[in-house]
Amino acid sequence: MSEDPTKSERPFLTVVGGNPTDEDLAVLVTVLAGAGSGGGDSEPATRNDWGRPIDRLRPQWGGPGSFTNLRY
C-alpha cells in the first residue's frame, strides 16, 4: 500500500493574478492559518451568585440562640 508518486495534491493557495512577493504570500498564509485555527476553549467565567432570584425563595432560619429571650 504505497502512494502513487505521480499523483499530485491540490495546492493550498493559488495566485490567480498579480505578482506577490514571498513576503506577501507568507503574510497571507499566516493570516489564513490563524483564521482557520480554533480559538480553543476559553476559561470559564467565575460564578457570581450575588442577587440570584432563587435566594428570595429560600427560608431564613434563625440562629440557635435567637429565641431564648422572648420577654424582652
Taking only the tens place, the pLDDT of each residue in 33-42 is: 888 777 777 7
21 or 37, higher pLDDT: 21
pTM of the shown model? 0.41
pLDDT recorded at residue 25: 93
Residue 28 has pLDDT above 70, yes or no: yes
- Tell me the three-class secondary structure of the chain, residue by residue: CCCCCCCCCCCCCCCCCCCCCHHHHHHHHHHHHHHHCCCCCCCCCCCCCCCCHHHHCCCCCCCCCCCCCCCC
Which residue type, as a one-letter code, is found at position 40?
G
